[in-house]
Structure 1
Amino acid sequence: MKESVKNTMTKPICYPDLSSRPFALTVERTMSIPPQVLYRAWTEQFDLWFASPGSVMMKDEVNAAFYFETAFDGKRHPHYGRFLRLEPNRLLELTWLTGEGGTKGAETVVTVELKQNEDGTLLRLTHTGFSDEESKNNHEQAWPMVLTQLEEQLTK
Protein backbone atom coordinates (compact mmCIF):
# COMPACT_ATOMS: atom_id res chain seq x y z
CA MET A 1 0.00 0.00 0.00
CA LYS A 2 2.78 2.45 0.84
CA GLU A 3 4.31 1.98 -2.62
CA SER A 4 0.98 2.79 -4.31
CA VAL A 5 0.74 6.04 -2.36
CA LYS A 6 4.34 6.87 -3.27
CA ASN A 7 3.65 6.21 -6.97
CA THR A 8 0.64 8.51 -6.98
CA MET A 9 2.52 11.39 -5.42
CA THR A 10 5.81 11.10 -7.33
CA LYS A 11 6.27 13.58 -10.17
CA PRO A 12 7.98 12.57 -13.41
CA ILE A 13 11.56 13.78 -13.77
CA CYS A 14 10.73 15.44 -17.09
CA TYR A 15 7.54 15.29 -19.10
CA PRO A 16 8.22 14.96 -22.86
CA ASP A 17 7.80 18.11 -24.94
CA LEU A 18 5.19 17.10 -27.51
CA SER A 19 4.59 20.61 -28.88
CA SER A 20 6.34 19.90 -32.20
CA ARG A 21 4.65 16.51 -32.59
CA PRO A 22 0.90 17.19 -32.79
CA PHE A 23 -0.45 13.85 -34.04
CA ALA A 24 -2.54 11.89 -31.52
CA LEU A 25 -5.21 9.22 -31.28
CA THR A 26 -7.72 7.83 -28.80
CA VAL A 27 -9.34 4.40 -28.74
CA GLU A 28 -11.89 3.06 -26.28
CA ARG A 29 -13.04 -0.42 -25.40
CA THR A 30 -15.38 -1.72 -22.74
CA MET A 31 -14.13 -4.96 -21.23
CA SER A 32 -15.78 -7.33 -18.77
CA ILE A 33 -12.61 -7.23 -16.66
CA PRO A 34 -12.23 -5.35 -13.35
CA PRO A 35 -10.02 -2.21 -13.40
CA GLN A 36 -7.52 -3.70 -10.92
CA VAL A 37 -6.89 -6.68 -13.23
CA LEU A 38 -6.36 -4.38 -16.24
CA TYR A 39 -4.07 -2.09 -14.25
CA ARG A 40 -1.95 -5.05 -13.15
CA ALA A 41 -1.77 -6.28 -16.77
CA TRP A 42 -0.29 -2.91 -17.83
CA THR A 43 2.13 -2.57 -14.92
CA GLU A 44 3.16 -6.09 -13.89
CA GLN A 45 2.05 -8.60 -16.55
CA PHE A 46 3.03 -7.10 -19.89
CA ASP A 47 4.45 -10.37 -21.17
CA LEU A 48 1.17 -12.15 -20.43
CA TRP A 49 -0.63 -10.30 -23.23
CA PHE A 50 1.66 -7.99 -25.24
CA ALA A 51 5.42 -8.36 -24.91
CA SER A 52 7.48 -11.38 -25.90
CA PRO A 53 7.79 -13.69 -22.88
CA GLY A 54 11.01 -13.14 -20.98
CA SER A 55 11.75 -9.77 -22.59
CA VAL A 56 10.18 -7.45 -20.01
CA MET A 57 12.22 -5.30 -17.64
CA MET A 58 9.59 -3.18 -15.91
CA LYS A 59 8.98 -1.81 -12.42
CA ASP A 60 5.70 -0.05 -11.70
CA GLU A 61 7.13 3.18 -10.32
CA VAL A 62 7.01 6.71 -11.67
CA ASN A 63 10.32 7.55 -13.40
CA ALA A 64 11.33 3.88 -13.63
CA ALA A 65 12.62 3.09 -17.11
CA PHE A 66 11.39 -0.07 -18.81
CA TYR A 67 12.17 -2.22 -21.81
CA PHE A 68 10.35 -4.99 -23.62
CA GLU A 69 10.10 -6.35 -27.11
CA THR A 70 7.40 -7.68 -29.35
CA ALA A 71 7.68 -9.99 -32.31
CA PHE A 72 5.63 -9.36 -35.44
CA ASP A 73 6.06 -10.82 -38.92
CA GLY A 74 9.23 -12.55 -37.77
CA LYS A 75 10.87 -9.30 -36.66
CA ARG A 76 11.88 -8.12 -33.20
CA HIS A 77 10.52 -4.72 -32.11
CA PRO A 78 12.20 -3.16 -29.03
CA HIS A 79 10.10 -0.75 -26.94
CA TYR A 80 11.46 1.66 -24.33
CA GLY A 81 9.82 4.04 -21.90
CA ARG A 82 9.21 5.17 -18.36
CA PHE A 83 6.16 5.66 -16.20
CA LEU A 84 5.01 9.26 -15.87
CA ARG A 85 1.88 8.79 -13.71
CA LEU A 86 0.43 5.86 -11.80
CA GLU A 87 -2.95 5.99 -10.10
CA PRO A 88 -3.64 2.39 -9.10
CA ASN A 89 -6.68 0.86 -10.80
CA ARG A 90 -7.58 4.19 -12.45
CA LEU A 91 -4.82 5.60 -14.66
CA LEU A 92 -1.35 5.00 -15.94
CA GLU A 93 0.74 7.15 -18.21
CA LEU A 94 4.00 6.13 -19.81
CA THR A 95 6.37 7.18 -22.51
CA TRP A 96 6.49 4.88 -25.54
CA LEU A 97 9.48 4.82 -27.84
CA THR A 98 10.08 2.44 -30.73
CA GLY A 99 12.04 2.48 -33.97
CA GLU A 100 11.17 2.33 -37.64
CA GLY A 101 7.58 1.32 -38.28
CA GLY A 102 6.62 2.46 -34.77
CA THR A 103 7.19 5.90 -33.27
CA LYS A 104 10.33 6.31 -35.42
CA GLY A 105 12.42 7.17 -32.37
CA ALA A 106 10.02 9.82 -31.05
CA GLU A 107 9.25 9.68 -27.31
CA THR A 108 5.45 9.49 -27.39
CA VAL A 109 3.05 9.29 -24.45
CA VAL A 110 0.42 6.60 -23.83
CA THR A 111 -2.29 7.33 -21.25
CA VAL A 112 -4.60 4.51 -20.16
CA GLU A 113 -7.70 5.50 -18.20
CA LEU A 114 -9.78 2.81 -16.48
CA LYS A 115 -13.38 3.59 -15.48
CA GLN A 116 -15.53 0.92 -13.91
CA ASN A 117 -19.08 0.77 -15.24
CA GLU A 118 -22.01 -1.69 -15.19
CA ASP A 119 -20.51 -3.68 -18.09
CA GLY A 120 -17.03 -3.99 -16.55
CA THR A 121 -14.39 -1.38 -17.34
CA LEU A 122 -14.17 1.30 -19.98
CA LEU A 123 -10.55 1.49 -21.09
CA ARG A 124 -9.63 4.72 -22.86
CA LEU A 125 -6.18 4.77 -24.43
CA THR A 126 -4.76 8.05 -25.71
CA HIS A 127 -1.46 8.02 -27.59
CA THR A 128 0.10 11.44 -28.27
CA GLY A 129 3.28 12.90 -29.67
CA PHE A 130 3.61 11.27 -33.09
CA SER A 131 5.87 13.20 -35.44
CA ASP A 132 3.89 12.30 -38.54
CA GLU A 133 0.49 11.13 -39.67
CA GLU A 134 1.82 7.78 -40.90
CA SER A 135 3.02 6.79 -37.42
CA LYS A 136 -0.27 7.91 -35.89
CA ASN A 137 -2.30 5.98 -38.48
CA ASN A 138 -0.27 2.81 -37.98
CA HIS A 139 -0.86 2.95 -34.23
CA GLU A 140 -4.52 3.86 -34.72
CA GLN A 141 -4.92 0.58 -36.60
CA ALA A 142 -2.79 -1.46 -34.18
CA TRP A 143 -4.15 -0.39 -30.78
CA PRO A 144 -7.67 -1.86 -31.26
CA MET A 145 -6.07 -5.23 -32.13
CA VAL A 146 -3.77 -4.97 -29.10
CA LEU A 147 -6.74 -4.25 -26.81
CA THR A 148 -8.61 -7.22 -28.28
CA GLN A 149 -5.58 -9.38 -27.50
CA LEU A 150 -5.48 -7.97 -23.95
CA GLU A 151 -9.10 -8.90 -23.34
CA GLU A 152 -8.72 -12.35 -24.90
CA GLN A 153 -5.66 -13.18 -22.82
CA LEU A 154 -7.22 -12.00 -19.55
CA THR A 155 -10.51 -13.85 -20.07
CA LYS A 156 -9.04 -17.26 -20.94
Structure 2
Amino acid sequence: MSSELEEFVTLPICPPDLSARPYRAIVDHLADAPADAVFRAWTERFDQWFAQPGEIVMKAEVDAPYFFQTFHEGRRHPHYGRFLRVDPDRLIELTWLNEAGTRGVETVLTVEMSPRPSGSLLHLTHAGFPDDKVREEHETAWRSILLNRLDPILRGAEA
Protein backbone atom coordinates (compact mmCIF):
# COMPACT_ATOMS: atom_id res chain seq x y z
CA MET A 1 0.00 0.00 0.00
CA SER A 2 1.37 3.45 -0.83
CA SER A 3 2.16 5.81 2.04
CA GLU A 4 -0.50 8.23 0.73
CA LEU A 5 -3.21 5.60 1.20
CA GLU A 6 -1.92 4.34 4.55
CA GLU A 7 -2.84 7.57 6.31
CA PHE A 8 -6.52 7.03 5.44
CA VAL A 9 -6.74 3.39 6.52
CA THR A 10 -7.67 2.79 10.14
CA LEU A 11 -6.44 -0.57 11.39
CA PRO A 12 -8.37 -2.39 14.12
CA ILE A 13 -6.94 -3.15 17.52
CA CYS A 14 -6.05 -6.84 17.91
CA PRO A 15 -7.97 -8.59 15.10
CA PRO A 16 -9.14 -12.07 16.11
CA ASP A 17 -6.91 -15.05 15.38
CA LEU A 18 -9.11 -17.58 13.58
CA SER A 19 -6.33 -20.04 12.70
CA ALA A 20 -7.61 -22.68 15.15
CA ARG A 21 -11.14 -22.38 13.70
CA PRO A 22 -10.81 -22.59 9.90
CA TYR A 23 -14.50 -23.21 9.09
CA ARG A 24 -16.11 -20.46 7.01
CA ALA A 25 -19.47 -19.91 5.36
CA ILE A 26 -19.46 -18.15 1.99
CA VAL A 27 -22.59 -16.77 0.35
CA ASP A 28 -22.87 -14.78 -2.88
CA HIS A 29 -26.13 -12.89 -3.24
CA LEU A 30 -27.36 -10.72 -6.10
CA ALA A 31 -29.18 -7.72 -4.67
CA ASP A 32 -31.58 -5.66 -6.74
CA ALA A 33 -30.18 -2.46 -5.24
CA PRO A 34 -27.01 -0.42 -5.63
CA ALA A 35 -24.06 -1.03 -3.32
CA ASP A 36 -24.69 2.18 -1.35
CA ALA A 37 -28.20 0.97 -0.43
CA VAL A 38 -26.81 -2.40 0.65
CA PHE A 39 -24.17 -0.65 2.77
CA ARG A 40 -26.83 1.52 4.46
CA ALA A 41 -28.97 -1.56 5.14
CA TRP A 42 -26.05 -3.11 7.04
CA THR A 43 -24.98 0.05 8.87
CA GLU A 44 -28.06 2.27 9.33
CA ARG A 45 -31.10 0.03 8.81
CA PHE A 46 -29.94 -3.22 10.44
CA ASP A 47 -32.87 -3.27 12.87
CA GLN A 48 -35.31 -3.12 9.97
CA TRP A 49 -34.34 -6.53 8.66
CA PHE A 50 -32.10 -8.40 11.12
CA ALA A 51 -31.95 -7.04 14.67
CA GLN A 52 -34.98 -6.52 16.88
CA PRO A 53 -36.29 -3.01 16.03
CA GLY A 54 -35.02 -0.39 18.46
CA GLU A 55 -32.77 -2.85 20.32
CA ILE A 56 -29.48 -2.03 18.70
CA VAL A 57 -26.40 0.08 19.37
CA MET A 58 -24.30 0.32 16.23
CA LYS A 59 -21.95 2.88 14.74
CA ALA A 60 -19.97 1.71 11.70
CA GLU A 61 -16.47 2.83 12.66
CA VAL A 62 -13.32 0.75 13.07
CA ASP A 63 -13.10 -0.63 16.64
CA ALA A 64 -16.56 0.72 17.56
CA PRO A 65 -18.41 -1.93 19.57
CA TYR A 66 -21.97 -2.90 18.74
CA PHE A 67 -24.80 -4.75 20.43
CA PHE A 68 -28.15 -5.94 19.17
CA GLN A 69 -30.54 -8.72 19.91
CA THR A 70 -32.84 -10.95 17.97
CA PHE A 71 -35.76 -13.08 19.11
CA HIS A 72 -36.09 -16.57 17.70
CA GLU A 73 -38.38 -19.35 18.85
CA GLY A 74 -39.34 -17.35 21.94
CA ARG A 75 -35.76 -16.73 23.07
CA ARG A 76 -33.64 -13.61 23.27
CA HIS A 77 -30.31 -13.85 21.39
CA PRO A 78 -27.85 -11.03 22.19
CA HIS A 79 -25.09 -10.40 19.63
CA TYR A 80 -21.88 -8.49 20.30
CA GLY A 81 -18.82 -7.43 18.40
CA ARG A 82 -16.87 -4.56 16.92
CA PHE A 83 -16.12 -3.23 13.49
CA LEU A 84 -12.77 -4.25 12.02
CA ARG A 85 -12.97 -2.57 8.60
CA VAL A 86 -15.39 -0.09 7.08
CA ASP A 87 -15.11 1.06 3.47
CA PRO A 88 -18.36 2.87 2.58
CA ASP A 89 -20.39 1.24 -0.19
CA ARG A 90 -17.73 -1.48 -0.60
CA LEU A 91 -16.96 -3.46 2.54
CA ILE A 92 -17.93 -4.04 6.16
CA GLU A 93 -16.04 -6.40 8.42
CA LEU A 94 -16.98 -7.04 12.02
CA THR A 95 -16.49 -9.53 14.77
CA TRP A 96 -19.68 -11.49 15.50
CA LEU A 97 -20.32 -13.27 18.77
CA ASN A 98 -23.41 -14.83 20.28
CA GLU A 99 -24.10 -17.82 22.48
CA ALA A 100 -26.49 -19.84 20.34
CA GLY A 101 -25.25 -19.13 16.83
CA THR A 102 -21.47 -19.06 17.17
CA ARG A 103 -21.44 -21.23 20.30
CA GLY A 104 -19.80 -18.36 22.19
CA VAL A 105 -16.75 -18.01 19.96
CA GLU A 106 -15.74 -14.79 18.23
CA THR A 107 -16.23 -15.05 14.48
CA VAL A 108 -15.59 -12.54 11.70
CA LEU A 109 -18.27 -11.47 9.24
CA THR A 110 -17.13 -9.77 6.04
CA VAL A 111 -19.64 -8.27 3.61
CA GLU A 112 -18.28 -7.05 0.27
CA MET A 113 -20.47 -5.09 -2.16
CA SER A 114 -19.69 -4.86 -5.88
CA PRO A 115 -21.75 -2.84 -8.38
CA ARG A 116 -23.56 -4.78 -11.11
CA PRO A 117 -25.63 -3.42 -14.01
CA SER A 118 -28.90 -4.33 -12.28
CA GLY A 119 -27.89 -3.84 -8.66
CA SER A 120 -24.96 -5.26 -6.73
CA LEU A 121 -23.27 -8.47 -5.76
CA LEU A 122 -23.03 -9.09 -2.05
CA HIS A 123 -20.20 -11.47 -1.14
CA LEU A 124 -20.55 -12.58 2.47
CA THR A 125 -17.88 -14.54 4.32
CA HIS A 126 -18.51 -15.61 7.90
CA ALA A 127 -15.34 -17.17 9.32
CA GLY A 128 -14.04 -18.72 12.52
CA PHE A 129 -16.61 -21.40 13.29
CA PRO A 130 -15.66 -24.17 15.70
CA ASP A 131 -16.85 -26.96 13.40
CA ASP A 132 -18.44 -27.75 10.05
CA LYS A 133 -21.93 -28.18 11.50
CA VAL A 134 -22.01 -24.60 12.81
CA ARG A 135 -20.56 -23.36 9.51
CA GLU A 136 -23.28 -25.15 7.54
CA GLU A 137 -26.03 -23.81 9.84
CA HIS A 138 -24.79 -20.26 9.28
CA GLU A 139 -24.43 -20.64 5.52
CA THR A 140 -28.03 -21.87 5.28
CA ALA A 141 -29.29 -19.14 7.60
CA TRP A 142 -27.46 -16.34 5.76
CA ARG A 143 -28.88 -17.45 2.39
CA SER A 144 -32.41 -17.35 3.82
CA ILE A 145 -31.96 -14.06 5.69
CA LEU A 146 -30.53 -12.23 2.68
CA LEU A 147 -33.29 -13.47 0.40
CA ASN A 148 -36.26 -13.22 2.73
CA ARG A 149 -35.40 -10.29 4.99
CA LEU A 150 -32.75 -8.08 3.37
CA ASP A 151 -34.14 -8.12 -0.19
CA PRO A 152 -37.62 -6.84 0.81
CA ILE A 153 -36.01 -3.89 2.67
CA LEU A 154 -33.83 -3.09 -0.33
CA ARG A 155 -36.92 -3.12 -2.55
CA GLY A 156 -38.63 -0.73 -0.15
CA ALA A 157 -41.14 -3.27 1.11
CA GLU A 158 -41.83 -4.08 4.73
CA ALA A 159 -39.96 -7.16 5.96
- TM-score by length of structure 1 reads 0.92
- Separation (CA, whole Å) in 2 of partners of 1:46 and 1:70: 11
Task: Please give the root-mean-square deviation of Cα atoms over the aligned residues, in Å.
Answer: 1.2
SS at match of 2:57: coil
Per the alignment, residue 124 of structure 1 pairs with: 123
- Separation (CA, whole Å) in 1 of partners of 2:70 and 2:154: 18
- Pair 1:109-2:104 in alignment: no
- Separation (CA, whole Å) in 2 of partners of 1:19 and 1:95: 15
- Separation (CA, whole Å) in 2 of partners of 1:14 and 1:107: 13
SS at match of 2:56: coil
- Separation (CA, whole Å) in 2 of partners of 1:90 and 1:154: 16
How far is the alpha carbon of 1:99 from its aligned partner? 0.3
Preserved contact between residue 69 and residue 77 of structure 2 (Cα < 8 Å): yes
Percent of pairs identical after alignment?
50
SS at match of 1:9: coil
How far is the alpha carbon of 1:44 from its aligned partner? 1.5
Stretches (4+) displaced over 3 A: none
Preserved contact between residue 95 and residue 107 of structure 2 (Cα < 8 Å): yes
- TM-score by length of structure 2 reads 0.90
- Separation (CA, whole Å) in 2 of partners of 1:53 and 1:91: 24
- Separation (CA, whole Å) in 2 of partners of 1:153 and 1:45: 9
How far is the alpha carbon of 1:115 from its aligned partner? 0.3
Per the alignment, residue 44 of structure 1 pairs with: 44
For structure 1, which runs of at least 5 residues remain unmatched after alignment?
Answer: none
Per the alignment, residue 16 of structure 1 pairs with: 16
For structure 2, which runs of at least 5 residues remain unmatched after alignment?
Answer: none
Preserved contact between residue 30 and residue 119 of structure 1 (Cα < 8 Å): no
Per the alignment, residue 64 of structure 1 pairs with: 64
Per the alignment, residue 25 of structure 2 pairs with: 25
How far is the alpha carbon of 1:154 from its aligned partner? 2.1
Q: How many residues align?
A: 149
Which amino acid is the alignment partner of residue 73 of structure 1? E
